[in-house]
Structure 1
């Protein structure tokens, strides 16, 4: 099976490598083409533009940073729309809002091609280990055809129906995650300022009903004020913003998420956007 892959950031690079190592033929593109070199050494072909990748491959996956990047790759010069056609499938695994996903879906459909949105739950390590959770929606037949690739990329994939449902589900998941990280960070700071041992707090949490892999994985580094980027804070704040915009559309109050978003915004103003999203702890600590 030959697959195109657009976007080789922290997530996309790991995902494309997994496909290569599992025997898929992969043609890659990235806005900074030099980022394709590592993949070429593993056997990938390089496309000079998104349209070149689309022309060559029946199926093309995109994993891009935000709605603006997702739209640019489709609609700009040398973009997806210049070569997408009947019989081809476009799978956008970026985290975007449902309006962006629907706009891309409509444009792809007018060209006679199939579209699937398939954002993922998971960060750098799950991407490297093929343990993502894939939240797909759109063309059911295309979903069925992509299952072999999804089985390489993730531990579980869900088909959620019409386009927009995948985007909404991902935003809800990331809104919960950001709110949890904010509360966890406040707890670490409160414990430390109260004279309590923060590692003991981690041990207590890990034995209780709110134990979870995120606290277990992120906590020790946060105590050391180390935030290597597995999921950049700027992307977490973007997802909080999009989730809050969704809540505005349907008049659902989300006071906890709104408060957490303000601290993530503060962290971005303090130039923490490229650190891991757990660096919200640093912003609270200041």
Structure 2
């Protein structure tokens, strides 16, 4: 890898998280290639200085680091297989998507077959933290190349937690954290629904919690969305269904009884079945 200048980075997937990731990398002086299945999403970044490409193979051509920010393990695997003919031997692959335990194992094996240095690095945070370069990166992977990937993480996040040298540790931690986020979302949504159903102004729930030990930025953001009936997606119901299923599957493999996680999944599924899959997961309230 050329050490005289910043590495070239290919960002595969420029959706709600991937687009700001690409832009923040460019702002920090990296040369950024971008690709997205919906080409217009990648091309929209060109005005800001990112180079858009029409295929994954073209995007990774000459890239020292590949960053995948896609929906699930199947999507990531498919795109990386499309990119395979142009991958540089010894390039670094930073995998930001939430793919679960089996998924991360499949992708690590794919990286090994293509001679890539692989980092399991799912992120904590949704659209707004991504836009503000305030993501928390949960990173696992070999010590040897951490000095190369750390500036990448610094460009897109406010904190990097190195979980393990072993691939998969970060993906396991991400499932536990997602379960907590889902529990908070459902608890808030149901509490507001209960207040309204009992004839109490639901804004009073927020008023009482504000400034107390149960308050948080997350609580305030999701409460504001529910009260305003504004479900513009930061993290969609469809993605929540996918990730909640990964939590339930992982717990089953570990022999854990997770009634709250199972109820969380079913609630998201009900909202999706009602036609709200593209809305923010605060639309749990609509259940």
In the alignment, is the contact (CA less than 8 A) between 2:25 and 2:156 conserved in 1? yes
Q: Distance in 2 between matches of 1:84 and 1:157?
A: 26
In the alignment, is the contact (CA less than 8 A) between 2:225 and 2:282 conserved in 1? no
Deviation at 1:208, TM superposition (A): 2.6
**Does residue 1:104 correspond to 2:107, yes or no?**
yes
Match of 2:261 in 1: 257
- Name the SS for the 1:160 alignment partner: strand
Q: Distance in 1 between matches of 2:109 and 2:155?
A: 28
Root-mean-square deviation over aligned CA pairs? 1.3
Q: Distance in 2 between matches of 1:213 and 1:21?
A: 26
Deviation at 1:236, TM superposition (A): 1.2
In the alignment, is the contact (CA less than 8 A) between 1:175 and 1:240 conserved in 2? yes
In the alignment, is the contact (CA less than 8 A) between 1:99 and 1:164 conserved in 2? no
Match of 1:189 in 2: 193
Aligned pairs for 1:216-227 within 5 A: 216-227=220-231
Match of 2:154 in 1: 151
In the alignment, is the contact (CA less than 8 A) between 1:53 and 1:60 conserved in 2? no
Segments of 4+ in structure 1 off by > 4 A?
Answer: none
TM-score (norm 1): 0.94
Match of 1:45 in 2: 51
Match of 2:61 in 1: 55
Kindly provide the CA deviation profile for residues 134-176 of structure 1, in whole angstroms up to 9, marking residues without a partner as x: 0111222333211111111001011111111111111111111
**Does residue 1:131 correspond to 2:134, yes or no?**
yes
In the alignment, is the contact (CA less than 8 A) between 1:199 and 1:220 conserved in 2? no
The count of corresponding residues between Structure 1 and Structure 2 is 280
In the alignment, is the contact (CA less than 8 A) between 2:185 and 2:222 conserved in 1? no
- Name the SS for the 2:44 alignment partner: helix
1:180 maps to which of 179, 184, 192: 184
- Name the SS for the 2:145 alignment partner: helix
Deviation at 1:52, TM superposition (A): 2.1
**Does residue 1:92 correspond to 2:95, yes or no?**
yes
TM-score (norm 2): 0.94
In the alignment, is the contact (CA less than 8 A) between 2:73 and 2:107 conserved in 1? no
**Does residue 1:82 correspond to 2:82, yes or no?**
no
Kindly provide the CA deviation profile for residues 106-127 of structure 1, in whole angstroms up to 9, marking residues without a partner as x: 1211222211111100011100
Unpaired runs of at least 5, structure 1: none
In the alignment, is the contact (CA less than 8 A) between 1:236 and 1:277 conserved in 2? yes
- Name the SS for the 1:10 alignment partner: coil
Deviation at 1:48, TM superposition (A): 2.4
Deviation at 1:85, TM superposition (A): 4.2
